[in-house]
Amino acid sequence: MNLKQLITPKNEDGSVDHRYIPIAQSIVDLAGERVEAQLRKLYAATTNLEKESASAGLQLVIALFSIPMDERFERSKFKKHIREQLQEIGFKPSKVSKLMGAGEFYADYSSCTFNSDFDLESTEDEYNEKRERFLGEYFNNISKLYELSRMNGTAIHRVSTDLARDNKVYSQAELEKLRQIYPKDVYERRGRKPNRHHVQETNLLPSVVTHESLKVMEDAAEENVTRQPESAHSLISRFFTLVASGVIEQRLAEYTPAAQAHLIDEIKTGITLLEDFVSKNKTVEVTSVN
């Protein structure tokens, strides 16, 4: 922390406004070293305390989401007020956002109960044990809980299953990646710049929407080819990106087991189609597809 830089007014783009540097220097000189030292101390202490108190903040939020109350009026009132007060107490705004997200997730997940319709692989005891282990593992890490709070059910299930089965604990970066593939809110656009290298992903999304079933996918592909030809290379890489992204698994998980089996059968017929395609085009040297 440098007091002179801190108090010097900034330009629109955040760089220091050079016109004010000499004045800022005079102000700092007049205030004196003791002032600067004390402010530095305040900064260090508050930063430290905020870090130290994070888990207390988390527990308050967990409590907020654990008490039953009317959602529309009471809960939203408390959410708003507690958010403001946490900021007033000394948590930074972005920290409060994380605490709220993490706490809500934790509370919701703790109150999840066993449902034999959904969980076919385990008993109620196993389920409870798995849940406790999962919460215990991730409780101490607010950022990880926060990432989890922004994923859909498929991804959360994966994380908790990986822990139960292989003792795998996800790093924050891994969770972030998983979240990008399985976001809870597909249309979230906040804090994200409109273009830049996101162009690829945004191209992918509409294709995912139109390709809900294989039938639609075939139609759409044909249309693309006839109306506005897309290069073979681009078509192929788009296909593999779609498969590799895991989006299909994600959508599949939303169906009943019977419906899933049916869709898998549809995909199987696709294998035959692919094989036919490859053998027809044998003359063009085709490298193996794994």
Partner DNA sequence: ATTTAGCGGACTCACTTTTA
Partner DNA sequence: TAAAAGTGAGTCCGCTAAAT
Select from 84-92, 154-162, 200-208, 229-237 the region that touches DNA (CB under 7 A).
84-92
Three-class DSSP category at 185: coil
Cα(183)–Cα(185) distance, integer angstroms: 5
Cα(253)–Cα(275) distance, integer angstroms: 27
Cα(20)–Cα(119) distance, integer angstroms: 64
| 172/237 with CB nearer DNA | 172
Q: How far is the CB of 38 from DNA (least distance, A)?
A: 18
Q: In this structure, what is the dihedral angle of CA atoms 123, 102, 253, 247, given to the nearest 10 degrees?
A: -150
Cα(89)–Cα(63) distance, integer angstroms: 18
Cα(24)–Cα(26) distance, integer angstroms: 5
Q: Does 150 bind DNA (CB under 7 A)?
A: yes
| Residue of the chain from 3, 62, 64, 83 that contacts DNA (CB under 7 A) | 83
| Residue of the chain from 8, 141, 154, 160 that contacts DNA (CB under 7 A) | 141
| Contact set for DNA, span 16-55 (CB under 7 A) | 47, 50-51, 54
Q: How far is the CB of 190 from DNA (least distance, A)?
A: 4
Task: Identify the CA nearest to 58 among candidates 122, 106, 93, 118.
Answer: 106
| Residue of the chain from 40, 92, 168, 262 that contacts DNA (CB under 7 A) | 92
| Residue of the chain from 143, 203, 213, 260 that contacts DNA (CB under 7 A) | 143
Task: Identify the CA nearest to 146 among candidates 117, 170, 111.
Answer: 170
- CB 146 within 8 Å of CB 98: yes
Residue with tokens 């085009």: 281
Select from 7-15, 115-123, 202-210, 259-267 the region that touches DNA (CB under 7 A).
7-15
Question: CB neighbours of 280 closer than 8 A, spacing ≥ 6?
Answer: none
Over the window 204 to 243, marking each residue x when it contacts DNA by CB under 7 A and - when it does not, the resulting string is: ----------------------------------------
Q: How far is the CB of 222 from DNA (least distance, A)?
A: 33
Task: Identify the CA nearest to 54 among candidates 107, 97, 108.
Answer: 97
Over the window 167 to 196, marking each residue x when it contacts DNA by CB under 7 A and - when it does not, the resulting string is: ----xxx------x-------xxxxxxx-x
Q: How far is the CB of 163 from DNA (least distance, A)?
A: 14
| 130/144 with CB nearer DNA | 144
**Residues comprising the chain, all counted:** 290
Q: Which residues bind DNA (CB under 7 A)?
A: 10, 13-14, 47, 50-51, 54, 80, 83-84, 87, 92-97, 100-101, 141-144, 150, 171-173, 180, 188-194, 196
